[in-house]
Structure 1
Amino acid sequence: MKIELLIFLLAGGGLVAGFAVGYLLRRQIEKTRVSSARRDAEQIIEEGRKEAEAIRKEAVLQAKDTVLQAKAEWEKEARELRRELQGQERRLQQREENLDRKMAQLDARGEELEARDRELQKARQQLEAMHKELEEKLEEQARLLEQVSGMSAEEAKQELMRNMESEARHDAAKRIKQIEDEARETADKKAKEILALAIQRYAGDFVAEKTVSVVPLPSDEMKGRIIGREGRNIRAIEAATGIDLIIDDTPEAVIISGFNPVRREVARLSLEKLIQDGRIHPARIEEVVKKAEEEVDQAIREAGEQATFDVGVHGIHPEIVKLLGRLKYRTSYGQNVLQHSVEVAFLCGIMAAELGLNVKQAKRAGLLHDIGKAVDHEIEGSHAVIGADLARKYGESPKIVHALAAHHEDEKPATPLAVLVQAADALSGARPGARREMLETYVKRLEDLERIGTSFPGCSSCYAIQAGREIRVMVASDEVSDAQSVVLAKEIAKKIEDEMTYPGQIKVNVIRETRAVEYAK
């Protein structure tokens, strides 16, 4: 028991000692931990202090940088503002200088106007004095005239009125007699025309064929478009071509009437192009007419070249070839002049071969003998003399020139070639069916009308329409005023009455047109 108790005590004392040792160890460990924690805390505090100091320094540096950047931007804005203010100051100074110059100019202009005003006042006073002096002289002259004539002004006026009344009565009597004579002449001529028409029905068809062309239309609706609003399109076509358009009840057709076949062909081509294109207005009409004229000119050149090729004549000047081509649209007593010239060339060649003369030279003279007719409506003189002058101008030989001048006895024939051309020309014109007198007389009358219309100053062009019952005279607006155009119409009508013989009456229509043209760019 004692041993067990001793063992128990020993065991209990060991346990207590163990507890004590353990307690001491824990205390020591805790102290060590507290000391370590304190050192860690002090280190953390020190690091935090250092970090805070670094942050504070960095913040101070950033603030300084921000202040410097703001200062630099402000200085930059201040410099730009100063430059802008300086620029505005310079501009204001320039404006002030310009205003000063303008004020000086205005002052000088004002002084100049004042000087001119003084001059005008002085001139007005002089004119008034001259006017007063003129009135005094006129009164003095009237008194002298009254003394010389033995009549007062009122008596002279009455005498003048009596003379004018007598002259008017005389003119009225002459006009009545003229109307009676015209009525008898017209009745006699109409009877002859009826007899001629009954005897020879072909003459009417021939004239219609040579003076009228018919243009087919796709529909009758196209007639309204050709006429245009208030007739402006048809007036533009007639003014540009000089041809009369007849739009009647003929279904799907427009009739082109005119004695000049070149103009009629231009009008026909232009109208066909306008109908095909569909755009019909005055500006387009002028453009299409111009293109049609170019096409007709090309056809004229080709016709002249074809004639020279058919006859076998080469080396002819291009201008003469062009004149030959124009003869395609010229008639003489109803006979086509180009066909007549080719026919004369062949007849000359045949007769020259029979006589042993130069065949090529004879053909050349025969082909060129009527080239004067291409321009005889533009140049005064007979077509034979005009043709000879043209042949001489473009380098033809003297024999050819003489043959052309002598084929209508304007010169006496001095060579066999001239006699050959005379004979061939007579043969071609005298063969049955070659010529019609009525058409040539009709065309000549219309050509004379146009010649008279363009013979006055300021008249740019003249067109005879309505079968010669009306002429339209285009005048330059910068040369002829509205009042002058009325006087011009009377003068043209008076000249027609004095120089021409014609049935019925002829309407003279003077047209003055002003155009303003500008381009939008």
Structure 2
Amino acid sequence: MDLSSHPFVIAALGLVGGSLLGFVLRKVIVEGNEKNIKIQSRQIIENAIVEAEQLKKEALLQSKEAAYQVKQALEEELSLERDELRDEQKQLKRKRDSLKREWDNFDRKQTEIYNSERRLQAQEVEWQEKHKEIDQLLAQKRYELSKVAGITEDEAKKLLMDSLESEARMDAAKRLARIENEMKVEADRKGKNILALAISRYAGDYVADRTVSMVPLPSEEMKGRIIGREGRNIRAIEAATGIDIIIDDTPEAVILSGFNPVRREVARLALLQLINDGRIHPGRIEEVVDKVTKELEITMREAGEQATFDVGAHGVHVELINILGRLKYRTSYGQNVLQHSLEVSFLCGIMASELGVDVKVAKRAGLLHDIGKAVDHEVEGSHAIIGRDLAKKYGEPDEVVYAIGAHHEEQPPMSVIDILVQSADALSGARPGARKEMLQSYVKRLEDLEAIANEFNGVEKSYAIQAGRDLRIIVDSNKVKDEDATLLSQDIAKAIESKLTYPGQIRVTVIRETRVVEYAK
């Protein structure tokens, strides 16, 4: 059987032949590709080597350039440091030369001091020898004088000391009198000019407030309505206000009496509203008193604000303004304290401007100097110290705080502002008609003045005149000499200052009269 003619065999042979041919062709292609790949790889490697060499050269150049730049920077820095070192060396050299010159001067001065000490020691020895000679001569002279005078050395010393003391006292008294007269004339002239200017520039009206309040009534029938059934209305008013209501025979009026002037004003305003309203019963009384109290607080705050505005005192704490407004209803010896504070403030400002002192601080201290009087019935202590503590608490300047505490000398005055507040306070309170004093206290002050003067040796009589502003003293001319009169007036003035409290100043005049009587026969 012929297999080559069979179709299956032919196909198989064709397939095998094709496979062999394909294998041969693939091998040929692969060998060609491998050759190409080797050639390309060789070229890539050669190119990489070339590029690496170039990169290496470039990196080397960059590193050299960077190193050169670093070297340049270091050289510049070293050059600067060398320049600085040269400058420091020059400075050190100059300082060394200066120290050397100073040291040479020190050596020279030390040598001079040593030589001076040697000379002083020699002079001291010489002086000691001379002192010994003088002491021997003095002892010899004393012995001779004691033999001639017939008294001992101690007795002679005592006589000499007494004589010298008497002469020195007389000479000192004469000089003191002359100096004091000159100072008094100049001080009086300047003081009077300043006070006169202050008084003339400030002309404040004054109206004395009463310590009790009187409420007018439309009719006598209103007294019964105020009292109420079984006195319940008057008791309700007194309980709500803390003020005593006095209903007496005074026609168509009732009197309000109380220690606190603010409460007394509340009672007065409340009673006036109740009378105008006509409805008077305990419930209505409490309502009106509460309403009037709030209105009065607003009024007092407005009064305090107005006072600070008038004197130009800005930045005062609101609590101090409220306390200052309460002074509107406070009196001292019949003088309204708020008006007095304003007057003191203006006087302080005028005098401060004449003396070249801070006007604003002076006016502020004058306005607040009596702030403690608004609460002195609620807090223990003098009103000056209470006011000082209040001002310090609410951030007032130190000058103002100290002036408030010093205006009655509870603490010594330290500045011109303190003296101005004292002077303005005394001037405002002591001027005619400013304050009212009871007859008993007035007479007592005159008696105290005369009693203080009569305690001194040599005083025969004393008279307090001009409302206690002038004290005339008549002395025994045999006991008090003209020179002693000056010292006596000073001692009496100091005693008055230490023992009495008074506004303004008191003039002490010592009168010494010598009478010589002879009879013609």
> Shorter-chain TM-score category?
0.3 to 0.5
